[in-house]
Structure 1
């Protein structure tokens, strides 16, 4: 009854909110080449189109069948370049923090240029077409944030992996370093002194690298591709009306968020699971003790893994008393165990929704973790790079997951981790508890994303949601000037008084005539 009431209230809110809203022209720009990033927003954009808004989507993933009110500008991505970047990342993410940042920078520059050099996109920039709203993926693509000023339209940013200290700056959110972990680190929100120090170092490196390396590169793109721009890039990047964040405190931690930063984790997941293909259904059902699903995500393909790693995985799976569905991108896998079903693609949310699927072995990508939480499934995590390590640590700390070292594990360790989760009901129970918290919201995440998007449209950019920090410089935002005055004046007074007292003491002792000289005069 409560769930039905919640659905009715949500629908009523959306219906009331859009009574006076006319259809809008929306430009949606998603430069990342990984399909999981676009999957995160696909339902969101399609829903906006179904509500009468005209969508122009710039991405590498056009709609397979034409949709009403939906126009695609397709980016031509060289898949081999993307795969090469991922393979390099697998190796470089075990190196230093600066090596990791360099890999991210190279990838960002590639995706920025893919859009800026696109012929159809350039025609759009130089046309007379107008838009009411810009929706853009935010991940250090600062030159593209000029689209809001270029089209004189408010901007909404979508972060498909949540927020960090750099993304927070776009809406002047705060990231208290003492208890908000850097996504690329390994610390949770409750840190001891050394962990807080490590977190501070991670934050500092990310900020400095972004402002000293990434932003200067984006500045050059901004000047080249937006030559008539009259606004500084520093102001352009702080001109967001709203951020939609693919995160939720139920499986991470509570943290400060300004009104214009909205958590919408799970907005890409359909409420009702679809029927899975018959052959997959038969394979799952044939396993009397349940089945396991294994995927390294859309970017890190299992086919990329070294031969010895593949062999350790197959040895572990062969020793299990359950069937395993494995997302493997090649049609054949030499030595594949009989209890393993491989396919280059699985309907992951529908697989995880299956009651007989008992465990998810994952790389720990944000979307995979959200889907595991949504469906209440425990995980065995093997993180590869960037935020995946921290994502898996979240699952471990919440009690619904076990972590393995992706670069150094044996078949025995993998088998033992799997059996530990399967044989200990605590992991599943905890996964279901977290899932219940995740679902307990006044509005479903997609409904919330639509509501706040149309809120920005209704209120012409919703300036009432923006904090005043966007009008302050660095010293003012961090109260350096006022703190300097507050502590500076007393310090000057102390110095002045001390100096005066010193002069008086010196004068007293130098002016006093010695006793032997006084007797001589007598």
Structure 2
């Protein structure tokens, strides 16, 4: 009897949840040229592929060892340095925020999206009879690309490389309190002074004005051009996002208000450490006083440091007893000290996992910071632009890092910062503490992402997780109509009291006058 019941239960489960056994077809659209953004998207798409799903990825880069059911649609044209020369991104460190917004919203974002939508490989895909069970798009100045979801009639899932952001939160109707959440380009924390909250609110509102009045109209125009047969408007698509995956974890930043369809997957790009190349393994193993790993990330190039500042760094390295691994994009480094090993590319995650690495010298990018904290390594940051100052502000507040401003970078300042970290054990202790918190979770980021993507597919877009806030107008969402009604009621009451008092006083005065008149008579 129990055997038959078990078989019936199993068959019922198989009918109810076919996706648990059957692989889905998933399209990923990763428009950013930068490796750091791509690495997050690639980590997500790899996780889905390893879970048995058929994955297609449109991106500037590709997974070279991809299996048969992982298709790369590689668009090398998305990469900035088409001519082979390395761009000097240090030049953007002093750009005004309004200029950065202008470039992002009018040139970089629309330019990359247009390149994708006009590319022959992409047009071939759009004109094919292929279908997908879900479409995943990076949420970063690329709203027109959400059109892939309506084109293939699939649920739209976004991933945010900056974690919870204005762009991601607006898509799912989640509050984004400026009193608590600092702007990406500010070096504030979640505990701001009155002046900091003023500046933060001002900057967020400038950002929103640019986004809604400059960027979005251009995106709507491009959407009409490249998806002429769309059955939904871009606004309708953006109000029906099924899931927002966030490159973030509260243990690395601070708590945020989340809707149920906002899921943290911070660290999804981090894989199990692999064996290092022999020369790196030997170099680190022989570092009896420990080692420092120095990388300015994938976009900023160590070889582009101004000569004066590069020499200051070299002089400091030469005086250290620790060995130094430096991701340096030239084959030679003038006056290179004996304790320094340079390479154009280094397996960062595997290096940070080595027990002899005592310090990560970084630009403060979110990807590298996450990897360093996963392995419990303190850091010295030289932030240049974007969210790097914000990330290093968190490091200073939490006690696992210090910053050196690029303009202040000198032999004295960099030596002081390095020695503070190496000689004060509290920085390493705090980094290991955060690492334990970060790792302490019921499922890793890859399994978490896979579960929720499959959940959305199983439940046909999971509309039950959609917030009704998305259907409210600006005035309704902010309760301005309610406050206006309250004000009107108060004014009516005050007006009524005023009229009542006035009439009462008038009546009293009239009676008093009549009384006095009668008395005289």
How high is the TM-score relative to the length of structure 1? 0.90
Corresponding residue for 1:370?
A: 370
Q: Which deviates the most, 161-170 or 63-72? A: 63-72
* C-alpha contact 1:362 1:381 (8 A) present in aligned 2: yes
Q: Which residue of 2 aligns with 1:337?
A: 337
* Higher mean displacement: 342-351 or 184-193: 184-193
CA distance in 1, matches of 2:126, 2:382: 42
CA–CA distance in structure 2, aligned partners of residues 206 and 133 of structure 1: 30
Residues 82, 176 of structure 1: alpha-carbon distance in 2 compared, 3 angstrom cutoff:
farther
Alignment check: 8 A CA contact 1:93 1:99 kept: no
Alignment correspondent of 1:312: 312
State the SS of the aligned residue for 2:324. strand
Q: CA-to-partner distance for each residue in 1:34-67, whole Å, 9 max, x for gaps?
A: 1122222323312322333211110011232341
TM-superposed deviation, 1:383: 0.9
Partner of 1:4: none
Query: Match of 2:224?
Result: 223
Q: Distance in 2 between matches of 1:417 and 1:386?
A: 22
Matched residues in 2 for 1:72 and 1:19: separation? 23
SS of 1:486's partner is helix
Q: Distance in 2 between matches of 1:133 and 1:17?
A: 16
Q: CA 1:63/1:203 → structure 2, altered by over 3 Å: closer, same or farther?
A: same
Distance in 2 between residues matched to 1:428 and 1:66, nearest whole Å: 37
- Rounded to whole Å, the distance in 2 between the matches of 1:359 and 1:513 is 92
Residue equivalent to 1:173: 174
Partner Cα distance (1:138, 1:125) in 2: 20
Q: Distance in 1 between matches of 2:250 and 2:46?
A: 26
Question: Does the aligned pair in 1 maintain the 2:240–2:466 contact within 8 Å?
Answer: no
Question: CA 1:35–1:498 in 2, change beyond 3 Å: closer, same or farther?
Answer: same
Q: Cα offset for 1:427?
A: 0.9
The offset of 1:287, in angstroms, is: 2.4
Provide the C-alpha distance between the structure 1 equivalents of 2:82 and 2:110, rounded to a whole number of angstroms.
13
TM-score by length of 2: 0.90
Q: 2:9 maps to which residue?
A: none
1:154 aligns with 2:133: no
Q: Secondary structure at the match of 2:28?
A: strand
Does the Cα contact within 8 Å between 2:30 and 2:38 map onto a contact in 1?
yes
Q: Partners of 1:26 and 1:497 in 2: how far apart?
A: 65
Kindly report which structure 2 residues correspond to 1:120-135, keeping only aligned pairs within 5 A, or say none. 120-135=121-136
CA contact (8 A) 1:21 1:458 kept: no
Which residue in the other structure is 2:103 paired with? 103
CA distance in 2, matches of 1:190, 1:82: 45
1:433, distance to aligned residue in structure 2 (A) = 0.6
Aligned equivalent of 2:463: 463
Kindly indicate whether residue 266 of structure 2 is the aligned counterpart of residue 265 of structure 1.
yes
The Cα shift of 1:329 comes to: 1.0
- Deviation, 1:503, is 6.7
* Displacement after TM superposition at 1:338 (Å): 1.8
Distance in structure 1 (CA, Å) of the matches to 2:73 and 2:296? 29
> What is the DSSP-based 3-state SS (H/G/I as helix, E as strand, rest coil) of the residue aligned with 1:79?
coil
Residues 1:433 and 2:415 aligned together? no
Instruction: Classify 1:504/1:460 alpha carbon distance in 2 versus 1 (closer, same or farther; 3 Å).
Output: same
Query: For residues 51 and 428 of structure 1, what CA distance do their matches in structure 2 show?
Result: 36
1:73 match: secondary structure: strand
Q: Structure 1 251/63 Cα, relative in aligned 2: closer, same or farther at 3 Å? A: closer
Q: Structure 2 vs 1, CA of residues 180 and 86 (structure 1 numbering), >3 Å: closer, same or farther?
A: farther
Equivalent residue for 1:419?
419
- Determine if contact 2:47/2:447 at 8 Å carries over to the other structure: no
* Aligned mates of 2:236, 2:88 — CA distance in 1: 36
> Counterpart of 1:70?
70
Alpha-carbon distance, 1:384 to partner: 1.0
Question: Could you tell me how far apart the structure 1 residues matched to 2:503 and 2:385 are?
Answer: 64
Q: Name the counterpart of 1:115.
A: 116
Give the match for residue 204 of structure 2. Answer: 203
How far apart in 2 are the matches of 1:179 and 1:258? 17
Q: What is the distance in 1 between the residues matched to 2:514 and 2:463?
A: 77
Matches within 5 A, 1:277-288: 277-288=277-288
Cα pair distance change 1:259/1:512, threshold 3 Å: same
Aligned-pair distance for 1:423? 1.5
Q: Who is 1:7 aligned against? A: none
SS of match in other structure, 2:57: strand
Q: Contact 1:320–1:415 at 8 Å: present in 2 too?
A: no
Instruction: Give the Cα separation in 2 of the matches to 1:84 and 1:161.
Output: 28
Q: How does 1:388-427 map to 2 (within 5 A)?
A: 388-427=388-427
5+ long unaligned stretches in structure 2: 1-15
Aligned counterparts of 2:327 and 2:369: Cα–Cα separation in 1: 16
Q: How many Å separate the matches in 2 of 1:102 and 1:452?
A: 35
Question: Which digits, 9 at most, give the CA deviation of each residue in 1:204-225, with x for residues without a partner?
Answer: 1111111111112212211211
CA–CA distance in 1 between the matches of 2:83 and 2:489? 57
CA–CA distance in structure 1, aligned partners of residues 510 and 408 of structure 2: 77
Give the deviation of 1:116 after TM superposition. Answer: 1.3
* Aligned residue-pair number: 503
The answer for the alignment partner of 1:274 in structure 2 is 274
- 2:482 matched to 1:482? yes
Partner of 1:349: 349
- The unaligned stretches of length 5 or more in structure 1 are 1-15
CA distance in 2, matches of 1:476, 1:514: 54
CA deviation after TM superposition for structure 1 residue 174, in Å: 1.1
